[in-house]
Amino acid sequence: MKLDVNVLRYLSKDDFRVLTAVEMGMRNHEIVPCELIDRIARLKHGGTYKVLKNLLKHKLVHHDSSKYDGFRLTYLGYDFLAIKTLVNRGIFNGVGRQIGVGKESDIFEVVKEDGTVLAMKLHRLGRVSFRAVKSKRDYLRHRSSYNWLYLSRLAALKEFAFMKALEEHGFPVPQAVDCNRHCVIMSLVPGYPLVQVRELQNPDVVFETIIAAVIRFAEHGLIHCDFNEFNIMIDDDEKVTIIDFPQMVSVSHPNAQMYFDRDVECIYKFFAKRYNMSFEENENDSDGLEVEIDEVGWPQFSEINKNSGFLDKELAASGFTRKDQDELEKLIEGELEKQSDSDDEGTADEEDEEDINNTNVKQLESLDLSKEDVNHQAGDDKHDDNHQVGDEHDPEEEEEEESEDDPELEKSLSKQRRKAIQAAHRGKRNFASRNTYKDKGGKSSQNSKVHKQLSGW
């Protein structure tokens, strides 16, 4: 969609108020109902529907009545909201020509009040040329549902953060000025994309500068992931500037080595094809390019010292988040403490285990002895019965004699008696349900009476 900023002259405060209301409603709705827009906008004298009709005329909103009557914000309306906010901040005063078109962004020139020219990048995710955002970018993270406008906003915020941090660490990147919604304002790079440059005075120097930048990114914990001739700017003095950062990942990403090798391979192949640079001694076939590159010193990801900086931690790059780092440190500290505690308190634990084992053995021995005593006494009783058939013995007297002889047996018998008494008392409990009290003279009460008669009450 073409950006025509002349429409901004004819938009009033009510128009922007209704546009903002539609944007707020899209947080929870794909299509915002008209009643909700009216409630959020709260225009003094009404007229929300009239304003929506004007916005629809300029294609700032889209009307959809398939399920219910509602509107959604278009990229042009989102552009106007971002531009209006940046103009109110005093970042720039005018929008110029379009200087670049990508698969996920458009770039325009903007002018400040003092005449300084800046670059404005508008992220436009969701184009037909690039819709595999969920599989190729990690903007969504754990979210399942998404909106293209919201994804564009996340991409802009991520690029602005990377650009600001890289600039502070001295990398050859544009100067980040400001960011709002899906719009990023940066300094204009005086030069051309490397893909448009046919000849170089010192291609070897430019090649070494670019490869050094890739290695330095990795040393600071980041990988560009789209490092090619389209994202490298070069001026008349052959000064290199790197652009496009929303897809950067951490060196701890599971596919970090693959991304690093791919970036390096793109640069090697481009310089070999465009500027006829030979990275091999024998140019017999095209398949030998990769082998000869390895022989002359292709940068190896495993050999790079990645301790120069930790920008991936500071910026929470993909593959390395602050939350994961904190959890990892806690786990490491916990394991170290457990190891130290186990070394210091190992003897105490062994002593406790020995005491427990000794007590268990004593308990088992006492149980065995009690059983032997009972069996022995039972055998003596049988022996006495066989030899003294004519004598009459009361069972109570025998129990008293046995209890006098063995105090442990007396304790076990008393416990058995208590258990038998408790079991007898439990059987006499009334288990009537609480519904019998509620139903007076009904079926439940009759059933309860029959139950009592059957149970012997």
Backbone angles phi, psi at 94, to 5 degrees: -145, 155
Q: Please compute, for residue 256, the number of CA atoms within 13 A of its CA located in the half-sphere on the CB side.
A: 24
Q: How far apart are CA 29 and CA 32, in angstroms?
A: 5
Q: Say which residues have a Cβ less than 8 Å from residue 39's Cβ, sequence separation at least 6.
A: none
For residue 425, the tally of other CB atoms under 10 A from its CB is: 9
Length of the chain: 457
d(CA 318, CA 320): 6
> CA-to-CA distance for 125 and 181, rounded, in angstroms?
13
What are the backbone dihedrals phi and psi of residue 22, each rounded to the nearest 5 degrees, phi first?
-65, -40
The span from the CA of 419 to the CA of 386, in Å, is 33
Residue type, 438: K
**Complete DSSP assignment for 8-41:** GGG--HHHHHHHHHHHHHTTT-SSEEHHHHHHHH
CA-closest candidate to residue 111, choices 128, 135, 90: 90
Q: Select from 243, 297, 293 the least CA-distant residue to 269.
A: 293
Amino acid identity for residue 318 in this structure: S
How do beta strands 94-101 and 70-73 pair? unpaired
The b/e string for 42-63 (b: 16+ C-beta within 10 A; e otherwise) is eeeeeebeebbebbeebebbbe
Active site residue 106: no
CA pseudo-torsion sign 192, 196, 200, 203 = positive
Beta bridge partners of 71: 32, 63
Cα–Cα distance between 42 and 356 in angstroms, integer? 76
Contact 5, 95 (CB under 8 A): yes
Options 14, 138, 226, 406, the catalytic residue? 226
Catalytically active residues, by annotation: 226
